Amino acid sequence: MDPSHSNEKNVANLETRNEEHAFQKLQKYQEIIANLPKDESIDSEWNLHLYQGFWYFSTTLENVFYLQENFNADPTDILICSPPKSGTTWLKSLSFAIMTRNRFDESSNPLFKAVSHECIPHLESDFASGSFSRDQELKLLGTHLPLNALPKSVFIENCKIVYICRDPKDLVVSMFHFAKKFPWPIFSFERTVERFCEGRSYYGPYWDHVLEYWKMSQEKPENVMFLKYEDMKENTLFYIKKLAEFLGEPFSQEEEMEGVPEKIMNMCSFENLSNLEVNKTGIHREGSAVEIGNNAFFRKGEVGDWKNHFTQKMKEKIDQTTQDKLHGSGFTF
């Protein structure tokens, strides 16, 4: 028998067993989820459910409950937290490149062969599925969870958190285009904006997600680094250096002289990453219900694309919502 074939079969069996195991583990949460308020706007298995003030797909919630019950954070874990479509792929790439700069040379970095979501585990997708393993040298973990849903051990262990957010107008445009790539029903852009303003978006209300992390970054700046996509675009090198310091891996003078921060900036630029073969043709979470081409994570990578999508009425609505939501917080986009 061809040994590689037998190996493939073993891997397939293992995956099936992992999936079955994950299914059994998660089944017990279905009753709780069935009793949560549900957004019935679309008659679909992709309806959103409201849990502790935030909207989730039911499959995400199963994973969240499992994570909250079973995840033991390590004090050296660093969480990359973000609302979807805020620049997660970029921030994960930068963090990974910074943390692994002495492990790989410029041509062998795994980011050339895999999208950053595969280099850093995503807690609510990977932990319950059995595919979770911690890299002992690289304690980076990703999540879109709001602060109030993070496993308690993250706070007990005082884990560091890096958070990124983005102008809600650009974020909703990015979200609209991303949603089109999946087989679930989508709303018109106008309705998407309305629903977004009502808070009815995946992991929304967006502003509440941002404010929770913002407040914690004000209270515990040594624990939470709070970033905005627009600032990162404007002054990328400055934030790469800040990020390296926060991650506990500051650039040495020698590295600065050698232009290491610039090399990381160029390696993780939209132009470079989006043109890699793996990001043009690779598939993320292949075979799963949320399978998607890696290229969906790279659309335009610009600030202000909302101007090409918003009517004046939509702009006024979202700006007013932003103003109302952020009122008195001290935070602005």
- List, by residue number, the catalytic residues: 144
Closest CA to 122 of 284, 306, 328, 325: 284
88 is a site residue for ligand A3P (CB under 6 A): yes
Closest CA to 93 of 109, 74, 72: 109
Provide the residue count of the chain.
333
Q: Which range, of 42-50, 130-138, 292-300, 319-327, touches ligand A3P by CB under 6 A?
A: 292-300
86 is a site residue for ligand A3P (CB under 6 A): yes
**Minimal distance in Å, beta carbon 111 to ligand A3P?**
10
**Minimal distance in Å, beta carbon 82 to ligand A3P?**
6
DSSP β-ladder status, 48-51 and 78-81: unpaired
Considering only residues 51, 96, 298, 331, which one is a binding residue for ligand A3P as defined by CB under 6 A?
298
Q: Site size for ligand A3P, by CB under 6 A?
A: 21
Torsion angle in degrees (nearest 10) through CA of 110, 111, 113, 117: 100
84 is a site residue for ligand A3P (CB under 6 A): yes
DSSP helix/strand/coil, 236: helix
Phi-psi region of 177 (alpha: psi -120 to 50; beta: other; left: phi over 0): alpha
129 is a site residue for ligand A3P (CB under 6 A): no
82 is a site residue for ligand A3P (CB under 6 A): yes
Looking only at residues 12 through 31 of this chain, which bind ligand A3P when binding is defined by CB under 6 A?
Answer: none
Nearer to ligand A3P, 63 or 88 (CB): 88
**Helices and strands in the chain: count of H runs, count of E runs:** 17, 8
87 is a site residue for ligand A3P (CB under 6 A): yes
**Minimal distance in Å, beta carbon 17 to ligand A3P?**
31
**Minimal distance in Å, beta carbon 177 to ligand A3P?**
6
Is the bond preceding residue 205 a cis peptide, omega within 30 degrees? yes
172 is a site residue for ligand A3P (CB under 6 A): no
Interface pattern 248-277 for ligand A3P (x via CB under 6 A): --------------------xxx--x----
Q: How far is CA 297 from CA 183, 287, 329, in A?
A: 16, 18, 31
Name the burial class of residue 163, with classes exposed (0-12), middle (13-18) and buried (19+) by CB atoms within 10 angstroms of its CB: buried
Q: Which range, of 27-35, 87-95, 193-201, 251-259, touches ligand A3P by CB under 6 A?
A: 87-95
Q: Is there a contact between 143 and 209 (Cβ–Cβ < 8 Å)?
A: no
**Minimal distance in Å, beta carbon 104 to ligand A3P?**
18
297 is a site residue for ligand A3P (CB under 6 A): yes
The CA distance from 295 to 274, in Å, is 7
Looking only at residues 223 through 252 of this chain, which bind ligand A3P when binding is defined by CB under 6 A?
Answer: none
Assigned token pair, 128: 């319950």
Write out the residues near ligand A3P by the rule CB under 6 A: 82, 84-90, 170, 174, 177, 268-270, 273, 297-301, 305
